[in-house]
Amino acid sequence: MTETGNMQTDTRTRILDTAEQLFAREGFRSVSLRQITQIAEVNLAAVNYHFGSREALVDEVMARVIRPINEKRLLLLTAAEEAADGPLSIEGVLECLHRPVMDQLGTSSHQSSVYLKLAGRCLAEPEDNFSPKLIALFKEVIARFTEAAGEALPHLDREDIFWRLHFSVGTMIFALAHEDQVAKFSGGSISATSPEDTLRRLIDFTASGMKAPPTNAQAKPLEKARTIVSCLTATFALFALSSCESLSPPDAKGHTSLRAPSHWVAGNSYRPTQIPDRHWVENFKSADLSSFVNSVLENNRSLKAAQARIEIAEANARIVGADLYPQIQGGFSSGRSLQNFVGLPLPGVPPGTILSSRSNQFGLSLDLSWELDLWGRIKAAKSASVADFEASLFDRSTAELSLAGQSAKAWFALAEARDQVQLSRSAIATFTDTENAIRERFESGLEQQGQSIASQLLLAEADVATARDGMASREELVGRTSRQLEVLAGKYPAGEAGKSARLPSFPSRVPADLPATLLDRRPDLAAAERRIAAADKRLLEAKRSLLPRLSLTSSFGTSSDDISDVLDSDFTVWSLAGNAIQPLLQGGRLRANVSKKDSELELAAAEFEQSALTAFAEVENALAAETFLGTRADALAKTADLSRRAYRRSLEEFNNGTGDILTVLTSQQRLFSSRAQLLTVRRLRLDNRVDLYLALGGSFRPYSPPPEKEPRT
């Protein structure tokens, strides 16, 4: 593996290690991708490249902990069943089920065990929907241990077996995660001695419960049995994906009139699967190319700028959404005032005397204001900001996809340029040999068919000079392209990159079924759809602005002329007020804003339709070019072969005195010209395949859009 490949492996492992520790310590809900990337010292693009999404990262973290435990469970069960004369005892079944967990704990203290911490987090953060990937890890374990327990306890039906295994696993998790509580609640008289002792007590306790008579319960319908299976799976999985109510708007493509075709005119058709799809680079089967693209996606400065735009959009969404909640602020006030009393008749005060009074006022308050979002105006504004945030995520994915395409094309260009330099060197050597052969004849005074060969010698010299010019041009292209690769990878352009660049063999043929559902496949179109959704929500916000606004204000605190009394409850003051405001006359501003937002929605829909048409054209053009470039490559390969044979024959005839030198000069020019063209067309075919991948939004792997984004009826 190359040094870059090792770096990518280290990056992936570093992300997993960091996420595992954070999830175990803080929980799934509390940890953001930003925390993970900051501690792991990678950018968000690296997380998205290696895992695709936060949910996929959680899956990978849990799978890394759970998979070895489940594999050992199955190995122990298989070995125990083979060693037993008959059905394995229930104690033996439970031993195989719980032993791998104890072995895992033996590598670290109970309190610091990642397994137990993740288990505790999963139990504290339940969820109804489990990752299919993780559920798949437990299918064989559940089936094998349910069958083994059923053979050991033939008096129990399948439902009782499910429930009791469920209780057994739950007991194990609680007992291990809270083992320290034994000493606490027993006043120190009892303490856990070792994991082995805990395992023996656990098996004795749960085996007794497993052997109990059948539960007297009525037969449950099929739906109930499925619920039990799901419950057992949940307990085995020891985790759940965290979720929260989302303000993301639904799919907004219903605002457009454009629909994807049922099939491509220039090809056939299939149904998609992941935004963005990053597997297409693997189709070129070049480890060096894949490592370089990975390096670009981790270090490119443009992606870092895209990440900054995502963080800006996220902050904007939070700022807008803050108006949904009460605004609370604390205040302290102090003042001193002087009041004069002129002409106020008071007994004993001479006429014309001006009386004055000085006073202090101190106050401490907690002020609350809250606009009640009765009509959903603020919620619509936040929903629009969330859609803008999602659009920025898709923009980053678009940048990733485009950058990967640029990197692959630059790699192919450098590989072709290097091959062209080698071809130019070969051409110079061949042309020089021909020149020397003609020069020998010229200096010997030999003529060609009674004519001087001086002009042919000049032509041969011109061919050599032209070949040298071509080689210099291609060497300059090698350096320029190498520097382009370094800039893409975020490095100084020293012209040293891509020394291992080679034109890979052409990937496999385009499948018969290609996705025509680009509207859910390409990240740039997904971003455009999110902008339609944002415009739609802003139109709703503008319409809701025509309705009355209801707000509450409240203040609670103390007020006194002595600062020492501000913390005395005897000087408490409070107020509570409600306000209702209905816009009446604003010069048509609100109506004009509704009209403006409506036009912006139409603009967003029209831009989406134009982008979609452009996307369709890109796919059709790439599919058509795939055929034409393949034909050209075959024709040029045949031309190069015929030119090679013609050059050899003409050279033999010239050496034998039966051929003329002009035929030699012409055939050698055609030979190297056809070879150079063949290299170029090979590179163009690879470039076009990259264009096809980009036009489709990724590789040929199928993809289904996330269900929460499916259009609502």
- pLDDT for 379-398, tens place per residue? 888 888 888 888 888 888 88
| Mean pLDDT rounded to a whole number for the chain | 77
Closest by CA to 252, choosing from 365, 342, 387, is 387
pLDDT recorded at residue 140: 83
Residue 275 pLDDT exceeds 60:
no
pLDDT recorded at residue 653: 83
pLDDT recorded at residue 244: 31
* Fold exhibited by the domain 416-497+511-516+613-709: Outer membrane efflux proteins (OEP) (1.20.1600)
Three-class secondary structure of residue 368 per DSSP: strand
Residue 226 pLDDT exceeds 60:
no
Give mean pLDDT, residues 424-440.
85
pLDDT recorded at residue 267: 41
Contact 264, 620 (CB under 8 A): yes
pLDDT recorded at residue 229: 42
pLDDT recorded at residue 345: 63
Residue 247 pLDDT class (50, 70, 90 cuts):
low
Instruction: Tell me which residue has tokens 């749960």.
Output: 206
Three-class secondary structure of residue 193 per DSSP: coil
Give mean pLDDT, residues 604-608.
89
Between 1.20.120.1200, 2.40.160.40, 3.40.50.150, 1.10.357.10, what CATH number should domain 53-237 receive?
Answer: 1.10.357.10
Same CATH topology for 53-237 and 416-497+511-516+613-709: the answer is: no
Q: pLDDT tens for residues 693-703?
A: 888 887 776 65
Residue 220 pLDDT class (50, 70, 90 cuts):
very low
Residue 125 pLDDT exceeds 90:
no
Total-model pTM:
0.55
Measure CA 129 to chain center.
21
> What phi, psi does 471 have (nearest 5°)?
-65, -40
Q: Which of 164-178, 261-275, 411-425, 607-621 is predicted with the least confidence, judged by mean pLDDT?
A: 261-275
Three-class secondary structure of residue 351 per DSSP: coil
Residue 238 pLDDT class (50, 70, 90 cuts):
very low
Q: Which of 81-95, 162-176, 266-280, 314-328 is predicted with the least confidence, judged by mean pLDDT?
A: 266-280
Contact 594, 643 (CB under 8 A): no
CA distances from 423 to 13, 58, 343, 401, 661 (A): 43, 51, 112, 33, 22
Instruction: Tell me which residue has tokens 């009446």.
Output: 584
Token output for 576: 């509570």
Strands 572-581 and 549-560: antiparallel
Largest CA distance in the chain: 150
Share of the chain above pLDDT 70, in %: 77
Distance between CA atoms of residues 264 and 269, nearest Å? 6
pLDDT recorded at residue 684: 93
Share of the chain above pLDDT 90, in %: 5
For residues 190 and 117, the model is more confident at 190
User: CA torsion, points 614, 617, 623, 629, in degrees to nearest 10?
Assistant: -90
Three-class secondary structure of residue 572 per DSSP: strand
**Cis? peptide before 276, omega within 30° of 0:** yes
pLDDT recorded at residue 508: 78
Give mean pLDDT, residues 197-206.
84
pLDDT recorded at residue 681: 92
Per mean pLDDT, which of 499-513, 617-631, 693-707 is the most reliable? 617-631
Distance between CA atoms of residues 391 and 383, nearest Å? 12
Domain map of the chain by residue range?
A: 53-237, 416-497+511-516+613-709
Q: For the chain, percent helix, then strand, then coil, each to nearest 5?
A: 65, 10, 25
Within 8 A by CB and 6+ apart from 661, the residues are 438, 448, 453, 456, 460, 654
Give mean pLDDT, residues 623-639.
90
Give mean pLDDT, residues 304-331.
82
Measure CA 50 to chain center.
8
Residue 272 pLDDT exceeds 50:
no
Residue 59 pLDDT exceeds 60:
yes
